[in-house]
Chain A
C-alpha cells in the first residue's frame, strides 16, 4: 500500500501563491506580497524535505494519481506524479535553490515597481518547474516544459517598457518553441508506437527492444528529437541564442531560471529518458557531440564579454554542454550530479553578481568595476567560493562533478575528454578574469562619487516596467542588505560541501550520489548492449578497478592542473599586467572581433531565418492573403452589392409607363413559361 504523500501539493502550493499575488497583490503592501511568496515557496520546500525524510520507506517508483485528464480511445494521460531518486534530487534542488532565491529577491527587488507581479511570476515558475519534475508522463512534463518557458518569457520581459527586454523575452519564447516542436514530434512517435506517454509504461515497452546499432530507427529518431527539444530549453547549439539575451531580466531571474532550474530541464528530460537513449547509440553520440561543441563554443565567447551577466550566461551554456556530454556518454548520474552542483555555484554566482551590480549602482560592465573586495566583503567571499567551485578546484563542489564527467567522457572517446579538458581551462580562465576584473585592482567606475549630489537617477523609479536604478545616492558602494547576503552564504556553503556526496572511489570516497541514483539508471540497463559508459565505478573494489583508479587519479590531476593554469593566466593578464589583454586583442584583430561578436551567430540567424521569415510573412501572409484575399473579398463583395443595386435601381424611375412596360414583359414571360409547362 503506497502511502499518499500528497505530492500534488508541492507544485500546487506555489500556484496558489502565484494566484494570490497575481490577483490581489497590487493592493497588498510589499511585506504582504513578499510574505505570501515566501510562505508558499517555503511550504513547497518544507514538503519536499518531508518527502525526502520519508523516502527510504517508499518503494520506487512511487506514483500518485491525482485525477484523470485525457481519455481518448486507448490513450490515457492523467495528472499523476512520479517520485523516484532522480525526481527527489531535482525536487530538492528546485525547491531549495528556488526558496533561497525567493528570499534574495525580496531584498533585490524591494525598490522595483511591479513587485507583486514579480513574485507572482516567480511562484508561477516554481509551479511549472515542479510539475515538470514530478510528472509521471511526458504530457504532464510537457505542460511544465511549456509553462517554464512562459514564466521565463514573462520574467525576462519583466521590465516590459524596455524594448530590449521585451525583444529578449520574445526571442527566448520563440527559440524555445522551435525546440518544443522536436519534443512534440518525439511525443507523437511515442504515442504511435507505444500508445501511451506514461514513463513506466513506455519504458517497459522499450525494455525488450534491442539497441539500434544501425544508427536509424524509432528510438534513434525519438532520441534525436528529444535532444532538439532539450537543445531549445537548455540552450545548446543551435538554439542557445536566447540565453545571453535573457540577461535582460532581473538578476534573481537569471539565477533561478537561467542557471539553476529551467535550463536544466533539458538535462533532466534526457536523463529521465535514458532508457530510450541507451538503446540508440547514434542519438547518444549526437547528444555528446552537441554538448561538447556547445561547451567549447560558449566558453570561448565568454572570454571576451565585458558584461558580468553575459559572462555568466555563456558560462551556463558551457556548463550545460558538460551535462549533455555526460548524458551522451551514458553517465547520467554524473550529469545530474553536475546539475546539482551547478545549481549551487551558478545560482550563487548570479546572486553575487546581482549583489555587485546592486552595490555599484546598476553598472554591469566589468570594465567599470574593480577593487570591490574590500568594499563588499560578504559578496566577495561568497563569489570567490563559487568561482573556485566552477573552475573545478578541489575540494569545492564543481571539482567532483566536472571530474566525474571528464573521466566518463574519456572512457567513451578521448576527443570528448580533450575538448572538455580544454574547456575546463577556458572556464577557469574567464571565471578568474571576471573575479580579478571585478574585485581587484583600482575601482574604475562612477558610483563612488555619487554620494553627495543626487544623480539624475535620484530616487527609485517606481514606474512599472522600468528598472530601478540601484544608485541610492547615499554613500556609493555598499554591501547588500542581510536579506540578500544570507542566501549567498547558504549557497556558498553548499558550493563548498555539495560535491562531497559524490566523491569517487578513486579518491577514497564511496560516491554515494551515484549509488543513490543507481536504481534509476541501472535497473533497465540490462537490455542495453554495446555501450561502455554504463559501468559504474563505485561498485566493488576489485583489482581491475585499482588500475582504473590509478588512471582516474592521473586524469583528475590533469584537470586540476588545467583549472590552475586558467587561474594563472587570468592572474597574469588581469592583475599583474592589466594592459596586456588589450594588446593581445588588438594583435588578434579579426579573430578577436569575431569572438567578441559571438561569432556573428545572431546576425547569421537574423539573415538566414528571421529576416526572410518576416519578409515572407509580410509579403505572403499580410499583403497576399490578409489584404488581397480576405480584405479584398469583403471589399469586393460590398462593392459588388453596390454595383448591382446601382444598376437595378434604374428600374424604379417613377415613370408609370416604364412600370407598365416591365409588367407587360414579365407577364409575357410568365405566360410563356406556363404554356411551356403545360405542353411538356
Chain B
C-alpha cells in the first residue's frame, strides 16, 4: 500500500515537472523543472530497488548535467522564448504522430504486461553487485564508454573554445 502511495506521489511529481518544462517560457524554469523530474525519478528507482542507479541519477544527472545546463543558460544569457513562425509539419504531423505512437505503445504495454506486479525493492542493485557485473560481464562496454567520454571532453573543449584564440591559453 505504501509502495503504491509513494509511487503515485512521486510519479505525479515527475509528470508535473515534465509538463512544467513544456509550459515554461524561460529556459531556466524549464531546467529547474527538469531537476525536479530527475529527483523524483531517483525515488522511483529506489522503489524498484536500484540503489546504485538512483544514487548515480542524483549525482550525475541532477548534480552534474543539470548544473551544466544551468551554467550554459547563464553563459549565453538565454532569455524568454520569442514567438517565431514555427513549422507546420511539426504541428501537423509531429504531434499527432507522437500521440499515435504513444497510445499504441501504451496500449501494447498495458495489454502485454497484464496484472504482473513488482514489489518494492524488487531487484536490489547494490554497488557491489553492479560493480562486479561492470568489471566482469560488461568490461568492454565499460572501457569503451570511458573512451567515449574522453572524446566528448575533447570535442566539447574544441567546439566551445574561442575561434581566434589558442585553446583559451591567451586571456583577453
A–B contact with Cβ pairs below 8 Å: the answer is: yes
| A interface, CB within 8 angstroms of B | 653, 655, 657-658, 660-669, 671-672, 675
Nearest 3 pairs of A and B residues by beta carbon: A661-B94, A665-B97, A661-B90
17 inter-chain pairs at a CB distance below 8 angstroms, sorted by A residue, are A657-B89, A658-B89, A660-B90, A661-B87, A661-B92, A661-B94, A661-B95, A662-B93, A664-B95, A664-B98, A665-B94, A665-B96, A665-B97, A666-B97, A668-B97, A671-B104, A671-B105
Q: In the complex, A660→B93 CA distance in Å?
A: 10
A-contacting residues, B64-121, CB 8 Å: 86-98, 100-101, 104-105, 108
Across the interface, B87 reaches (CB within 8 A) one of A655, A665, A667, A669, namely A655
Q: Which residues of A contact B96 (CB under 8 A)?
A: 665, 668
Q: With A661-B91, A672-B104, A675-B104 as known contacts, state yes or no: A667 contacts B86, CB within 8 Å.
A: no
- B90 proximity list for chain A (CB < 8 A): 657-658, 660-661
B101 touches which one: A657, A660, A667 (CB < 8 A)? A667
User: Could you say which residues of chain A place their CB within 8 Å of the CB of B89?
Assistant: 653, 657-658, 661-662
Quick check: B108 and A675 within 8 Å, CB to CB? yes
- How many whole Å from B88's CB to the nearest CB in chain A? 8
Q: Which residues of chain A are within 8 angstroms of B88 by Cβ–Cβ distance? A: 658
Give the chain B neighbours of A653 by CB distance below 8 A: 87, 89
A56 to chain B, nearest CB (A): 101
B93 touches A657 (CB 8 A): no
A-chain residues with CB within 8 Å of residue B93 when the two chains form the complex? 661-662, 664-665
**From residue B93, how far is it (CB to closest CB) to chain A in Å?**
4
The number of A-B residue pairs with CB atoms under 8 Å apart is 55
Complex Cα gap A358–B133 (Å): 115
A668 touches B87 (CB 8 A): no
Residues from chain A with a CB closer than 8 A to the CB of B91 are 661
**Chain B interface (Cβ within 8 Å of chain A)?**
86-98, 100-101, 104-105, 108
Complex alpha-carbon distance, A662 and B87, angstroms:
11
Identify 17 new A-B residue pairs, CB closer than 8 A, beyond the known A661-B90, A672-B101.
A657-B86, A657-B89, A657-B90, A658-B87, A658-B88, A658-B89, A658-B90, A661-B87, A662-B89, A662-B93, A664-B93, A664-B98, A665-B94, A666-B97, A668-B101, A671-B104, A675-B104
Q: How far is the CA of A200 from the CA of B94 in the complex (A)?
A: 87
Cα A222 to Cα B96 in complex, Å, equals 80
Min CB distance A253 to B, Å, is 79
CA distance A662 to B92 in the complex (A): 10
- CA–CA, A664 to B93, complex, Å? 8
A664-B94, A665-B93 known; A672 vs B100 contact (CB < 8 Å): yes
Chain B residue with Cβ nearest A656: B87
Q: Once bound together, how far apart are the Cα atoms of A454 and B164, in whole Å? A: 91
Give chain A residues whose Cβ lies under 8 Å from the Cβ of B105.
671
- B85 to A: closest C-beta gap in Å: 9
Bound form: Cα–Cα A525–B57 in Å: 117
Q: How far is the CA of A275 from the CA of B101 in the complex (A)?
A: 90
Q: Are B86 and A668 in contact (CB under 8 A)?
A: no
Judging by beta carbons under 8 Å apart, are A664 and B101 in contact?
Answer: yes
CA distance A671 to B109 in the complex (A): 13
Give the nearest-CB partner of B94 in chain A. A661
CB distance from A651 to the nearest CB of B (A): 8
Please, which residues of chain B bring their CB within 8 A of the CB of A672? 100-101, 104
**Nearest CB of A to B87, in Å:** 4
Query: In whole angstroms, how far apart are the Cα atoms of A665 and B87 in the complex?
Result: 14
A661 touches B97 (CB 8 A): yes
Question: Does the CB pair A668–B92 fall under 8 Å?
Answer: no
Distance in angstroms between the alpha carbons of A671 and B104 in the assembled complex: 8
Enumerate chain A residues within 8 angstroms of B86, measured Cβ to Cβ.
657
Provide the residues of chain A in CB contact with B101, threshold 8 Å. Answer: 664, 667-668, 671-672
What distance in Å separates the Cβ of A597 from its nearest Cβ neighbour in chain B?
79
A653 to B85, CA, bound (A): 13
A198 to chain B, nearest CB (A): 79
| Complex Cα gap A657–B89 (Å) | 8
The answer for the CA separation of A675 and B100 in the assembled complex, in Å, is: 12
Q: How many whole Å from B19's CB to the nearest CB in chain A?
A: 18
**Smallest distance from the beta carbon of B86 to chain A beta carbons, Å?**
6
